[in-house]
Amino acid sequence: MNEHCGRNFDESLLTGYLDGALTQGDEQRVRLHLEDCAGCRRLVEEMRETREATMTTRFATPPDDQWDERPRGAVSGLSRGLGWVLLLAWAAGLTGLVVGHLWTGPESLTEKLIAFGGLSGVALVFLSVVIDRLKTLRTDPYRRVQK
């Protein structure tokens, strides 16, 4: 830092000043110092720019981009959609089979309930993933324009 600065407060006060999180007294102290210290004004300006850049970056990359495996073209998009439908049908069929088997099987009621609970959980998670995926597909053109 500039040693001629004469700043008598911690750098964290500058951060707080940016956030508007200071007490009235502290804020006044920072503002007064900023008025006659170009070095600290520049520092605050840099902090503000860094912060805005960080926020912009965060906005541009929504968290579900980690999931992103969007198809590149219309044909692959169609087969991807069909794949999900088939997968969903397969999962539903498999669940039906297992449930039917369990229901008529020799297991005790407790075992059946435990198995049903687990299956329902898996089915719900799977369903939510599929729904999310369909939503992503639907908003796809918009997102591509945004990038």
Q: Which residues form the interface with Zn ion (CB under 5 A)?
A: 5, 7, 37, 39-40
Q: Cβ 54 to Zn ion, closest distance in Å? A: 24
Residue 11 or 64: the one with the smaller Cβ distance to Zn ion is 11
Q: Cβ 48 to Zn ion, closest distance in Å? A: 16
Residue 42 or 135: the one with the smaller Cβ distance to Zn ion is 42
Q: Cβ 133 to Zn ion, closest distance in Å? A: 53
Please give the C-alpha separations between residue 46 and each of 41, 52, 66, 78, in angstroms, as whole numbers.
9, 10, 30, 47
Residue 37 or 88: the one with the smaller Cβ distance to Zn ion is 37
Q: If you write DSSP's letter for every residue of 85-101 in order, what string do you get? A: HHHHHHHHHHHHHHHHH
For residues 11 and 130, what is the distance between their CA atoms, to the nearest angstrom? Answer: 48
Contact 57, 40 (CB under 8 A): no
